Structure 1
Amino acid sequence: MKTVMISHERLDRFAGQLLPRRTARAFADVANRRTAADYDTVVCTTAFARAEFDRIGATNIATVPLGVDLQTFHPGRRSFLVRHRFAAPTQILLVHCGRLSVEKRADRSIDAVAALCDAGVDARLVVVGEGPMRARLQRQAAGLPVEFTGFISDRRTVATMLACADVTLAPGPHETFGLAALESLACGTPVVVSRTSALAEIITTDSGASAGNNPFAIAAAVRSVVSRPEHDRRACARRRAEAFTWQQAAAGMLIALGARDGQPGVSRYADEAIRLTEADSPFTA
């Protein structure tokens, strides 16, 4: 039986939050050598995610990007009534969607909206998610045009929030993929991401922007994105998301599990997996 491990985090980056950089890297290299030796295949979702395995010379690494549900996360989810609930037509509506934990750096999204306001930009931020940092983030956001929704369990509601935004923010510097950002693109909403994360591979210059890890760079990137015609930037965002289908992701995973590329069953099983997740959507890609 073939054994496969999916690497969800950059261990060197995670350890680097607690240890000196060289120590963190050495620790990660030892652990990753053991991991690579223990499994037939290690699956990474991006070049950024696999870089620490490439560094140690591991040869059993497969890159399989994730996909996005292009039916649930769709520009058709945009609702002017919902948008009006959070922002006026002339305001820039920003959304930060994700767990409120340290590594997601929602604090930078809050600081970015403060920087925009200081520069005279009429912007509002909605933070979607729950986590251990919420109370601290709410204190940080006091007096700013920031609203917290808490955790939203319904994916359609999340999709509506993303589709209603002018720009979504994904400032986490260590993301190994960033599915929420890809879901935003699928909704036709461009994303400003950290240039030190894997999302810099996902975002193109016409579907969003990569920014430095500081609020002023994020704010400048937001202003650059919204300066483009809305129809163009939304169309480009959606088109970028369409390059990441769950059919491709499922087929890639089946190949990593030992199926042969081009084997008839690969496409059939991948399509069936997607059908089960998307059958109840009213939208088509």
Structure 2
Amino acid sequence: MDKHERIKQKAVELGFLACGISAAGYLVDEKERLRSWLAEGMNGEMEYMARNHEKRLDPRLLHEGTKSVISVLLNYYPKERQLDPEAPVLSKYAYGTDYHFVLKDKLNELLKFIHDEIGPCNGRAFVDSAPVLDKAWAVRSGLGWIGKNTNLISVEHGSFFFIGELLVDLELKTDDRIVSNHCGNCTRCIDACPTKAIVAPYVVDARRCISYQTIEQRGEIDKTLEGQFKDRVFGCDICQDVCPWNLKSEPHEEPAFDPHPRLMELSRLDWQNMDESLFAELFRKSAVMRTKYSGLMRNLKFIGKS
């Protein structure tokens, strides 16, 4: 196998669903879309989206010497479901250990393999915590297309996966396959969004998005959205749950993403009576820690009004 195939094979061995490689460069097509989205204020309080604008469009400015972008997908579709149908709904991605740690550890293993087995290189792993347009690079690497809900969708795997990338200073063979858009005339995600956050095909106004309001929003939740959250307490999977491509989703095999044993058993009353000690026990390593106990209580109070 050549270097390109050896890297992709190692990625699969590490548990990634898929891996693709693209040449680092300027994201011309994304420039106007990003500018327009920011100009409309659709980023809400996510001011970091407006910073480092040029670095978002050109990873060579983010990591010196970058020649190739290696994109990976990591499945998080759960084996289990919350048992109480009346319980507040937690987004599937937050069931287990915070994906930033799990994905970055695997990416650093892949980087070490490249350095040791492919050739000496300088590289850096990125997982949704730096100005990198993950989905754009995944598209360039042939891993899927951007759906009308703005999620990356894979023909083989649906969309319940995390995206990460390595920026490396090696010039590698690229995956030139561009996956065509398979959304067709389907509007299920648009129709299903209870807050109408998908304001147009391929455009999401974060300010109306349940995930934004329950995670990113630092102050009070927008009162005009009261009664529209469908019991979502942290994040929201509605647009993914209705997507026909997610009929292909299969349970992950990553132990770190398995939920705390008590989490799936919580009743609606258990959630409402949760104290800080239980919160710490259930979510000690979870992405839910981002919103803190006070934020989760805010969210529970808000959905309790519906």
Q: Same fold (TM over 0.5)?
A: no
TM bucket by the smaller chain?
under 0.3
Q: TM-score, normalised on structure 1?
A: 0.28
Q: Higher RCO, 1 or 2 (CA under 8 Å, sep at least 6)?
A: 2
